[in-house]
Amino acid sequence: MSRRRFAALALAALACTSSDKNDDAGGPASRSGSVDLTGAGATFPYPLYSKWFSDYATATGVRINYQSIGSGGGIRQLSEGTVDFGATDGPMSDEELSKAKGGAIMHFPTVLGAVAIAYNLPNVTGELRLSGPVIAQIFLGTIKKWNDPKIVALNPGVTLPASDVLVVHRSDGSGTTYVFSDYLAAVSPAWASGPGRGKDVAWPVGLGGKGNEGVAGQIKQIPGAVGYVELAYAKQNNLPVASIQNAAGAFVAPSIEAVTAAAAGVGARLPANTDYRISIVNSPGADSYPISSFTWLLVYRQQADSVKARKLIDFMRWALTDGGKQAAALDYAPLPPAIAERLRQRLDSIQISASGG
């Protein structure tokens, strides 16, 4: 008990959170100022979310305060009930869901992200092609040289150097790592039974960089380096990125269209009662980029405060309707229209208690 309270306190201190928080999400709104909703979580979608919140405040006057403290922090704060909604890049585990104090938590995908494989090969121009098993072997440390026959076989006509492959990975816990390791586990049995999937992984080889910028900085500095960064980050920094063989056998470069295609490929087969805690890595479809993922908003199914609940649902309906338009401009892939429509209908299943407000 005290340990958990301490964790929450430490978290609050770490995030320099504002003081206007309720101890109980269900309690009467006692906050000062004009903030109507508070949220916390993933850093990856933060640039887009902050644009959404500012546009939404302009359009409706509803103000939303979001702290991009990381998916783990968002999950913890929502579980403790110190925020009205959370946000995460990796779906919550059953264990995490069972610990939430406010009951069942629902996952709502908002946009899509992708992980790009960036590299530094000064004398290689043009496209570098990689397949899932080859990427897994590079990150397992079994492929050690750039001119390994397995890489050469994927890249006919490209002269690859005989230099060492230097793996760069994230050192901080990250949703990006979750998506990437989820993909490696999906395409490589050796990876699945070894390092496995998670936000922090015991990497067999390589250097750790803090944040996308840390990984990108080391890739840029070290010839022969290869690592993974968010697509938006790779695009905005013009890093060379590999085309990756998808489940249909086609080599696809990371792009917004290819990521949305990956979601559409999985979305077409979703059962009606899905909880949306789904992985879209290695998605079927010839146009799908295989290392793609949803990012989610987390809300309680049972909303105790009716005023806040209506504001939250209205905002989510707006985000699922108009939010996708801003996504592409900021290098996020919008949801396929069919999934967005299903999610709008799913908002009706959030239950608002009669009391409160």
Partner 1 sequence: MILAGVAPGDRVYQLAITAFALVVPALLVLIAIAIGVAAWPAFATAGLSFITSSEWNVQAGKFGAAPAIYGTLVSSFIALLLATPLAVGVAIFLSEIAPKWLRQPVAFLVDLLAAIPSVVYGLWGIFFLVPMLREHVVPFLRDTLHLGSTPLFSGPAYGPSMLAAGVILAIMALPYISAVTREVLLAVPRSQRDAALALGATKWEMIWDAVIPYARSGIIGGIILGLGRALGETMAVTMVIGNRPEISASLLAPGYTMASLIANEFTEATSDLHLSALMAVGAVLFTITLIVNAIARWLVWRVASGPRS
- Residue 221 binds to partner 1 (criterion: CB under 8 A): yes
Binding characters for partner 1, 38-77, by CB under 8 A (x = yes): -------------------------------xxxxx-xx-
Nearest to 243 by CA among 232, 260, 255, 226: 255
CB atoms under 10 Å from CB of 162, counted, come to 8
| CA atoms 83, 85, 89, 95: torsion sign | positive
> Nearer to partner 1 by C-beta: 210 or 325?
210
78 or 247, CB closer to partner 1? 78
Output the smallest distance, CB 197 to partner 1, in A: 8
User: Which residue lies nearer to partner 1 by CB, 39 or 265?
Assistant: 39
**Site for partner 1, residues 293 to 352, rule: CB under 8 A:** none
Which parts of 88-147 interact with partner 1 (CB under 8 A)? 93, 95-96
Of 14 and 59, which CB lies nearer to partner 1 in the complex structure? 14
268 binds partner 1 (CB under 8 A): no
C-beta of 93 vs 351, nearer to partner 1: 93
Site string for partner 1, 186-215 (x = CB under 8 A): ---------xxxxxxxxx--xxxxx---x-
Query: Which residue, 198 or 240, is less far from partner 1 as judged by CB?
Result: 198
Per CB under 8 A, does 237 bind partner 1? Answer: no
Residues touching partner 1, count (CB under 8 A): 42
d(CA 52, CA 65): 11
> In the complex with partner 1, which residue's Cβ is closer, 203 or 296?
203
Which stretch, 4-12, 47-55, 231-239, 275-283, contacts partner 1 (CB under 8 A)?
Answer: 4-12
Q: Which residues bind partner 1 (CB under 8 A)?
A: 2-4, 6-7, 14, 69-73, 75-76, 93, 95-96, 164, 166, 171-175, 195-203, 206-210, 214, 217-218, 221-222
